[in-house]
Structure 1
Amino acid sequence: MAGIDIQHKHSLSLAKARKGVEDVARKLADKFDFEYGWDGDEMHFKRSGVDGRIAVKPEQLHVTAKLGFLLSALQGTVEQEIRKVLDEKFS
């Protein structure tokens, strides 16, 4: 099973970083059709073939996801889109 593991630095307060992650999740959910929700400072997201989380930490976001067989072929595209959105929102 393919996986994504991205660590992205930020300089926001935890509250602002959470809001930013919520905005990113909404944008990616529209594009990739997944459900998401919060558990503490971790946002979990899921759809058929994808199971992941975004951990909001001081000065860092940590995105991890497991991709099923079909989406593993698109790992590079999915990872690139996540990085692009994180750069737009948190750089």
Structure 2
Amino acid sequence: MASISITRNHQLGLEGARRVSQKVVDKLAEKFGLSSGGWQGNSLAFYRPGVDGKVQISDSRVEVTIELGFMFAGFAGAIEQQLAASIDKAIAAG
């Protein structure tokens, strides 16, 4: 098992954070075949066999946590780098 945790501050407000987070999760879903459980308050869960993740948003912060199973653990560094870059780009674009 490997864990990924990324936290970014932003100035987008809650709805902006929700929009940006949904965009990032949609891209992850397309690239890695993830499913989403839908928004539960300010939290969005996503998953597939070997991957369990969650996005938590607030009016000033986005937090992404992912647990990777054995099959994906070797790719944790690359996944984290790509995810961090996607989050940063999405926040910058607003």
Q: TM-score range by the shorter chain?
A: over 0.9
Q: Which runs of 5+ in 1 are unaligned?
A: none
Q: Percent identity?
A: 36
TM-score of the superposed pair, with normalisation by structure 2 = 0.92
Q: CA deviation at 1:83?
A: 0.4
Runs of 4+ in 1 over 3 A off after TM superposition: none
Q: How does 1:68-87 map to 2 (within 5 A)?
A: 68-87=69-88
* Helix, strand or coil at the partner of 2:31: helix
Q: Which runs of 5+ in 2 are unaligned?
A: none
TM-score of the superposed pair, with normalisation by structure 1 = 0.95
Q: CA deviation at 1:59?
A: 1.0
Length, aligned pairs only? 91
**CA-atom RMSD in angstroms:** 0.9
Q: How does 1:35-74 map to 2 (within 5 A)?
A: 35-36=35-36, 37-74=38-75
**Hey, what's the Cα distance between the residues in 1 that align with 2:15 and 2:31?**
25
**Hey, what's the Cα distance between the residues in 2 that align with 1:46 and 1:6?**
17
Letter of the structure 2 residue corresponding to residue 63 of structure 1: V
Q: CA deviation at 1:14?
A: 0.2
